[in-house]
């Protein structure tokens, strides 16, 4: 693995890591479109040995997270590889508010007798500390999706836990620029590179990073045996996208704060969920554990599902689409997603992009006001 040079800031690492260094080599790692390699050089078949393109992505994210990374075909493939490490009969603890893929995967495993599942509120720090003593997998997500609750990772990750337990943090919303789970004591940090790492809504990829060498090898073996390998061109695009992560995140976070403050004062908005607002229930924790408040805003409209759906149809600059973390702003009503029906019916999740904040506000305000008619 490419080491993180002492004194190099993350913004510089994003640009410099994962590049060839040999004289005459290309400046960027190209997409290596090969499934097999000539025997004798240590690399024989891509599914088991990887490719230089995958390794460039792993070098960037691994160094950024402060560990060794394994790239996967998608964020959910990365999640599944972590769950794949569990013995039959394991105890799994996940947040009440979390990515629907994690909820579905854990529930399916429980139905088949693979493990038992407990759910704990993201902000129930005592509940997490208590559950950690007997859990085989503690799965944390902070900020959570889509309610944007921030967990007290410092306290939870410092708690005593069962020997051999895996403590995983889904770091997708925060990104490694805003949060360093491995430094706080997590076993693994998980990124859906589909989101902020790629940043352009044009790829599927996931990355798991750990400092446990044995677990790193086990994750690579899971990738090999399940065939959850990243596409070469997807890895190439993720590397290209990662180069601008710091700039994109800085701009989008600034805009998200502006929009959150304006939404909080809107007469047709009932509640704004953004960790950067002093009114947010876990704002104090967010100030302590996060370097930035992120680009995601969830807000509840003063109306029902039909009103929220109308707003989604009426936006023009903001795209009515799922997913997040890209250069373009997207928005959706999360309770319309299968498995998310328990959420407030008028809750909209907004992923803020890098557009001009005034243009985004004009679009959003107009859609809200016309949607109410």
Per-residue pLDDT of 142-169, as tens digits, reads 999 999 999 999 999 999 999 999 999 9
Per-residue pLDDT of 185-211, as tens digits, reads 999 999 999 999 999 999 999 999 999
Residues with catalytic function = 47, 99, 170, 195
| Average pLDDT score over residue span 241-245 | 98
* 245-371 placed in CATH 1.20.140.10: no
Of 56, 84, 85, whose CA–CA distance to 71 is shortest?
Answer: 56
* 10-242 placed in CATH 3.40.50.1370: no
Q: What is the pTM of this model?
A: 0.95
245-371: same fold as 10-242? no
Per-residue pLDDT of 258-279, as tens digits, reads 999 999 999 999 999 999 999 9
Where is average pLDDT lowest: 190-199, 281-290, 332-341, 346-355?
332-341
- Alpha-carbon distances, residue 107 vs 116, 324, 339 (angstroms): 9, 24, 11
Residue 7: its pLDDT value, please? 77
Sequence-ordered strand ranges (E) for 96-202: 115-120, 137-141, 166-170, 188-192
Per-residue pLDDT of 30-66, as tens digits, reads 999 999 999 999 999 999 999 999 999 999 999 999 9
Spans of all domains in the chain? 10-242, 245-371
Residue 372: its pLDDT value, please? 74
């Amino acid at each position: 693995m490419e080491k993180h040079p002492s004194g190099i800031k993350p913004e510089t690492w994003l640009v410099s890591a994962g590049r060839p260094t040999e004289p005459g080599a290309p400046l960027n790692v190209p997409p290596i479109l090969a499934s097999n390699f000539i025997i004798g050089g240590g690399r024989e078949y891509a599914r088991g040995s990887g490719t230089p393109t995958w390794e460039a992505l792993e070098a960037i994210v691994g160094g950024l997270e402060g560990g060794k990374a394994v790239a996967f075909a998608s964020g959910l493939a990365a999640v599944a590889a972590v769950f794949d490490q569990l013995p039959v009969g394991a105890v799994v603890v996940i947040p009440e508010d979390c990515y629907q893929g994690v909820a579905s995967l854990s529930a399916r495993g429980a139905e088949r007798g693979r493990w038992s599942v407990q759910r704990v509120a993201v902000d129930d720090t005592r509940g997490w500390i208590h559950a950690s003593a007997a859990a085989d997998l503690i799965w944390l997500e902070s900020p959570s999706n889509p309610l944007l609750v921030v967990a007290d990772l410092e306290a939870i990750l410092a708690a005593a836990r069962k020997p051999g337990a895996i403590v995983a943090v889904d770091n997708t919303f925060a990104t490694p620029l805003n949060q360093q789970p491995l430094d706080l004591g997590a076993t693994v940090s998980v990124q859906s590179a589909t989101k902020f790492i790629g940043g352009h809504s044009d790829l599927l990829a996931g990355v798991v990073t750990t400092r446990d060498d044995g677990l790193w090898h086990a994750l690579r073996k899971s990738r090999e045996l399940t065939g959850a390998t990243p596409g070469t061109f997807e890895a190439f695009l993720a590397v290209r996208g990662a180069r601008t992560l710091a700039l994109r995140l800085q701009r989008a976070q600034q805009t998200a704060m502006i929009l959150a403050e304006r939404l909080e004062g809107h007469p047709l908005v009932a509640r704004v969920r953004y960790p950067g607002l002093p009114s947010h229930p876990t704002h104090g924790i967010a100030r302590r554990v996060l370097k930035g408040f992120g680009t995601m805003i969830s807000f509840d409209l003063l109306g029902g599902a039909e009103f929220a759906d109308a707003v989604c149809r009426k936006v023009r600059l903001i795209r009515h689409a799922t997913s997040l973390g890209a250069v373009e702003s997207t928005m959706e009503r999360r309770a319309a997603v299968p498995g998310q029906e328990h959420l407030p019916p008028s809750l909209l999740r907004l992923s803020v992009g890098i557009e001009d904040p005034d243009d985004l506000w004009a679009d959003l305000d107009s859609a809200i006001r016309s949607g109410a008619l």
